[in-house]
Structure 1
Amino acid sequence: MKKRVTLTVPKRAVQMALTYQLAKDFNVAANIIRAQIAPNQIGKLVVELQGDIDEIDAAIEWLRARHIHVALASREINIDERSCIDCGLCTGVCPTEALTLEPETFRLHFARSRCVVCEQCVPTCPVQAISTHF
């Protein structure tokens, strides 16, 4: 089972070895998609949790008990094909290669199944053809 979540980590917890504890205590793998963590600041992590559903749920409870806000990622990337100019800028920031340019046509291709909704492509698009929705 996989669950994509956004973790908002309070200042006092940014030094915790969260991914280590998830693996050690709950047998849950945490694939970090995006992280903004710095000492003495609120941190944000987008992670994909993988493991048994009961273990994932227990891990989420453990995180919440440590005052870490856990939000299930229910957003999706939307591409307005009429606005897109196929410039390819978004392909350079996509960590999972969900956004690629077709080699023959140079048209943007979006593989939704590969997308982890890290949202790095949204601010990169010069014509605002990429957005998120629920």
Structure 2
Amino acid sequence: MKKRVTLTFPQRTIQMPLTYRLAKDFNIAANIIRAQVAPNQVGKLVLELSGDIDQLEAAIEWMRAQEIAVSLASREIAIDEDSCVDCGLCTGVCPTEALILDPESFKLTFRRSRCVVCEQCVATCPVQAISTNF
């Protein structure tokens, strides 16, 4: 099973080897989608966690016990096709290639199954045709 989570670390837990602990202690694979971590600051990490459902739940409980705020991602990307001008700027920032331009028609194609909701495309779209839904 897979779950997307956003983690917010207090300053004192920034140095914790989180992905190592998830793999070793819970047999969870952690794919880092976005990271914003700096010494002496609050850190944010967007992960896609993969593993057994019971192990995922145990890992989330453990992270919360470490005072790491865990929020489950239940959002998805929405594209307003009427507003989209098919410029392709979003395709350059999409880390999973969920957004591509068709090489023949030059129309934007969104492959939802590849999207990890990192939201990089939302900020990049010059006409605000991309947004997130809950």
Aligning the two structures, in what range does the TM-score lie when normalised by the shorter sequence? over 0.9
Shift of the alpha carbon at 1:21?
A: 0.3
Question: What's the Cα RMSD here?
Answer: 0.4
Shift of the alpha carbon at 1:130?
A: 0.4
- Relative to the length of structure 2, the TM-score reads 0.99
SS state at 2:127 partner: coil
SS state at 2:117 partner: coil
Matched pairs, number = 134
SS state at 1:83 partner: coil
In structure 2, what is the Cα distance between the partners aligned to 1:12 and 1:78?
36
- Per the alignment, residue 12 of structure 1 pairs with 12
Q: After the TM superposition, which parts of structure 1 deviate over 6 Å for at least 4 consecutive aligned residues? A: none
Runs of 5+ unmatched residues, structure 1: none
- Per the alignment, residue 123 of structure 1 pairs with 123
Structure having the larger proportion of residues in helix: 2
Q: Counterparts of 1:25-40 in structure 2 under 5 Å?
A: 25-40=25-40
Shift of the alpha carbon at 1:29?
A: 0.7
Is 1:107–2:87 an aligned residue pair?
no
Shift of the alpha carbon at 1:88?
A: 0.1
Could you list the per-position Cα deviations for residues 4-41 of structure 1 after superposition, in whole angstroms to 9, with x for gaps in the alignment? 10001111101000000000100001100110000111
Runs of 5+ unmatched residues, structure 2: none
In structure 2, what is the Cα distance between the partners aligned to 1:86 and 1:62?
44
In structure 2, what is the Cα distance between the partners aligned to 1:2 and 1:80?
27
Shift of the alpha carbon at 1:62?
A: 0.5
Shift of the alpha carbon at 1:64?
A: 0.1
Amino acid at match of 2:105: T
SS state at 1:5 partner: strand
